[in-house]
Amino acid sequence: MKTPTWNDEQVFGFGMALGGPAKVLRPTTVEQIADAFAKVKKDGGSVALRGAGCSYGDASTAKGGRVLDLTAMNRIESFDPTTGVAVCQPGVTVRDLWRRAIGYGYWPKVVSGTMAVTMGGAAAMNIHGKNNYALGPFGECVKSFDLLTPSGQQLHVTAESDPDLFHAAISGFGMLGCMTRLEIQTKRVHSGRMRVYGIVAQDLEHNLQILEDMHGEADYLVSWLDLHAKGIALGRGIMHRADQMKPGEDPEGLRYFEPSLQDVPLKMFGAVPKGWLWPGMWCALHFGQVPLVNWLKFQAGSREQKHSPYLQTHGAFHFLLDYVPRWQWMTKPGGLLQFQPFVPKAEGARVLRKLIEMCHDAQHVPYLGVLKKHRPDKFLMTHAVDGYSLAMDIPVPTSQKGRESLWRHCREMAEIVLEAGGRFYYAKDAVLLESSFARVHGEDAVAKFRALKQKWDPERLLQTDLSRRLGV
């Protein structure tokens, strides 16, 4: 097999606003990762670990540096149909996993809004799904992982064998070592479809009330928000609730255990390639039509509510964003920034309302808002709170002045979130500074994380643009 070489490439975050040139290596074996660590150490540099590059900001970029892209290590080594446990190389994607599992009646417990993310990236960021309030983050379905440390040690880590390392490497944004194999628990599903409800929420408080009313019974809850709406309609949106089927409840749904019936179609109406859709979205964004598009979507919500519940495949429910390939290109040339604050429940309505109003005042109105409910977890660099998150996608202006204005606006919003005891999620962050790191996690957690970094990576071989920004 050919030995991979370092290539000069452009490496950006998913939002295309951060990143730059880097030397990239795509290893196919653990030995090649170890060799790369040794070489970079000898040369006196640092290296960033990267999965599919789905983090919006700079979590897997290293401008002017080196990047280890793990996507070529994408083999599912085994899947046990009696337990639903998969053993995966780090570059296996969520799509690879569900395609392997669904035929046996299993589905990943926690998935993101795109199926492109890798197991390594999902664990390192400890991603959450639309069921975070119920099942917790991705880390809670990791049974074990193998970690190659910068010094070349290969460790097999479980929550029992080394609880500190387990709970810090998961959530530790690739700072403690490279996960080279992960053992993932999936969950049983009794149909290839779920029962889905569209529910119109007239404002932010209504949205939050629905989350509180339904979270005890619903398997998944997520709300799309029209963040252009103001006044009494501020924070309005459409909540989607999805419930799994009980055994025998949907015999017809067994047909949808066929992977091709779960995947997103490549064409719209069977004819138009979906790759052609983003230019239309580009026009809507750049010619000021987002308020109209949002208004139309909100109106369509009443019709959906009338026809609810309806049946939808797991793939269609979870991966709506994958329906339009390269949709992020609609924000070119500036790219996009996602700002996703996590706010404690008691402060949820006040803080989120304030942030939406600030976006209007600053004229940086997000074209997309997504509201979720969360619960705390045990991972060291956790982003979760007992409360809510609101992901806001904001186009980045092309001018330097506009860019600075957006970053200033986001930092002002971050201040309000931090004052309220909120947190941030590094897969989505682009603005926090070193001074905020301890405010997000608390002094004790940060000291513990720094001590683990010192223990496993004393020469700071693993660095990303994010880790440098946070002073890790």
Ligand X SMILES: Cc1cc2nc3c(=O)[nH]c(=O)nc-3n(C[C@H](O)[C@H](O)[C@H](O)COP(=O)(O)OP(=O)(O)OC[C@H]3O[C@@H](n4cnc5c(N)ncnc54)[C@H](O)[C@@H]3O)c2cc1C
Residues contributing to the site for ligand X (CB under 6 A): 14, 48-55, 59-60, 70, 90, 112-114, 117-118, 120-122, 124-125, 127-128, 173-174, 178-179, 321, 427, 464
Task: For the CB of residue 82, give the shortest distance to ligand X in the complex, in Å.
Answer: 27
Task: For the CB of residue 361, give the shortest distance to ligand X in the complex, in Å.
Answer: 27
Choose between 52 and 420: whose C-beta lies nearer to ligand X: 52
Residue 409, token pair as written in the block: 């606006």
Q: Is 160 in contact with 98 (CB distance < 8 Å)?
A: no
Choose between 50 and 236: whose C-beta lies nearer to ligand X: 50
Instruction: State the residue for tokens 């186009």.
Output: 395
Task: For the CB of residue 164, give the shortest distance to ligand X in the complex, in Å.
Answer: 16
Task: For the CB of residue 165, give the shortest distance to ligand X in the complex, in Å.
Answer: 12
Task: For the CB of residue 400, give the shortest distance to ligand X in the complex, in Å.
Answer: 26
Choose between 121 and 253: whose C-beta lies nearer to ligand X: 121
Choose between 141 and 178: whose C-beta lies nearer to ligand X: 178
Choose between 13 and 301: whose C-beta lies nearer to ligand X: 13
> Hey, which residues does 332 pair with through a beta bridge?
none
Task: For the CB of residue 59, give the shortest distance to ligand X in the complex, in Å.
Answer: 4
Task: For the CB of residue 156, give the shortest distance to ligand X in the complex, in Å.
Answer: 14
Q: How many CB atoms lie within 10 A of CB 248?
A: 8
Instruction: State the residue for tokens 């440390």.
Output: 149
Choose between 14 and 298: whose C-beta lies nearer to ligand X: 14
Task: For the CB of residue 393, give the shortest distance to ligand X in the complex, in Å.
Answer: 9
Cα–Cα dist 391/428, whole Å: 8
Residue 354, token pair as written in the block: 């304030």
Residue 338 CB burial class (10 angstroms; 0-12, 13-18, ≥19): buried
Write the CB contacts of 101 (distance below 8 Å, at least 6 apart in sequence): 79, 84, 86, 107, 108, 186
Choose between 177 and 301: whose C-beta lies nearer to ligand X: 177
Choose between 55 and 207: whose C-beta lies nearer to ligand X: 55
